[in-house]
Amino acid sequence: MPFINERLSANQTSIDKARYEKPTTDNTVARQSRFHFKPEDVMNALRTNIIGQDDVLSSVEEMLYLVKADFGIKHRPLAVNLFLGPTGVGKTETVKIIAKSILGSTDNFCRIDMNTLAQEHYAASLTGAPPGYVGSKEGHSLFDSDAIKGSFSKPGIVLFDELEKASTEVIRALLNVLDTGHLVLSSGTHEIDFSNCLIFMTSNIGVKELNAHRAAQNKGIKKWLGGNTIDEKSHLKQALQKKFDPEFLNRIDRILSYDYLSDEFLDKILDVELEKLNLRLKAKNATLELDETARQQLYTYYDEEYGARNLAQHIRVKLEPLVAREILKDDQSTQFIIKYVDDKFSISPDINT
Ligand SMILES: Nc1ncnc2c1ncn2[C@@H]1O[C@H](COP(=O)(O)OP(=O)(O)O)[C@@H](O)[C@H]1O
Ligand SMILES: [Mg+2]
């Protein structure tokens, strides 16, 4: 009964709205948040899926409670976060999981690739190309204003990916957004409201040097970046400060550095990836396990420089085709196991279960 459900939920929202707007002395009512998401649920999803980034997740947890409590400054975004760190360590995935938990789908948030925005005609729409200039309206197509605006009971979510690619002009426009909570596209006809929005930005600024440092260290070269030990997190922050004005950085609530994913987390990350695959296989009434030989082989593909992305890709390229063959066969097997023998992966029905 989708229609009835919609009506019920609309009613609930207007009840909530009335409560929210009516001044009251009753604490239980006054303190009820207009936001329907539960920080606990979001954190459960994050802690299950994002491995090895406990410090970052603790800060994200604080943010979620702050947003839910809803006493932030009006006309400013609900929260402004910048995620720093190497590739494939969970920066984008964190935003996707938050979007999924709060909005019900990873498709409901607005993702702006700063690389795309760096193209002149898009940037022009932000930074004041004269009306009529080709592309002066195109920024509108880049920004999904509904996803950014959110709704009464749900925050909007926007992700500015690869911040380091943005031009000075675009950063200036962004600074304005962080300050005032809205953006007027230079066509003058479109205004985008960020005041009910969680803003996330990601950057791998400074990571190149860290990678070089780590590579040198692995080869035993110790005189790099001032010796054997560098504080990676403060290196990233320094690189950030070199690139962006304090004016801009001061408007960011949280600057969080993701760690490289070290070997100790591989087991868990593999479990997470397998879990995701099994969720998809459920629709085909099949489940997959890996034996120890297969796990060990997958670990050999892992490269810290590329993070978990690499592991996920190998599962897709090397294991999924084997599963595909198996489930297209006519026999009724539902449980499969993959091993690595004689230099190759092989799949068979799991007879032990
Ligand atoms: N910390 C992590 N824990 C579990 N899986 C991860 C983690 N980091 C990355 N992954 C996996 O790698 C993929 C790419 O990660 P992503 O968040 O997009 O990387 P980036 O940090 O470059 O934004 C994810 O879809 C996920 O499958
Ligand atoms: Mg990313």
* 317 three-class SS: helix
Which ligand lies nearest to the CA atom of residue 90 in the structure? Answer: 1
Which pLDDT tens digit goes with each residue over 135-153?
A: 445 555 688 899 999 999 9
Q: How far apart are CA 37 and CA 99, in angstroms?
A: 11
Q: How many angstroms does the Cα of residue 206 sit away from the middle of ligand 2?
A: 15
* Ligand 1 site residues, Cβ closer than 6 angstroms: 49-53, 87-93, 202, 261, 269, 272-273, 307-309, 312
Predicted confidence at residue 18, as pLDDT, reads: 52
Who wins on pLDDT, 278 or 190? 278
pLDDT single digits (tens) 276-325: 999 999 999 999 999 999 999 999 999 888 899 888 899 999 999 999 99
Point out the least confidently predicted range of 130-144, 157-171, 195-209, 240-254: 130-144
What distances in angstroms separate CA 337 from CA 134, 191, 203, 320, one per listed residue?
56, 54, 39, 12
What's the whole-number mean pLDDT along residues 9-36? Answer: 65
Residue 33 — pLDDT band, cuts 50, 70, 90?
A: very high
**Which residue did the predictor score with more confidence, 2 or 72?**
72
What pLDDT, on a 0 to 100 scale, did the predictor assign at position 115?
A: 84
- Which is the closest atom of ligand 1 to the Cα of 53? 1
Provide mean pLDDT across the span 65-70: 96
Buried b (16+ CB within 10 A) or exposed e, 195-230: bbbbbbbbbbbbbebbbebbeeeeeeeeebbeeeeb
Mean pLDDT, residues 339-346 taken together: 96
- Rounded distance from Cα 265 to ligand 1 centre (Å): 12
Residue 230 pLDDT > 90: no
Residue 275: other Cβ atoms inside 10 A: 11
Kindly give the interhelix angle for 266-281 and 292-300, rounded to the nearest 10 degrees.
110
The predicted pLDDT at position 148 comes to 95
d(CA 331, CA 304): 40
Closest approach atom of ligand 1 to CA 88: 19
pLDDT at position 142 is 80
User: If we measure between CA atoms, which residue out of 201, 153, 151 comes closest to residue 178?
Assistant: 201
Q: Which ligand is nearest to the CA of 87?
A: 1
Percent of the chain having pLDDT more than 90?
61
Cα 329 to ligand 1 centre (Å): 33
Atom of ligand 1 at shortest distance to CA of 93? 17
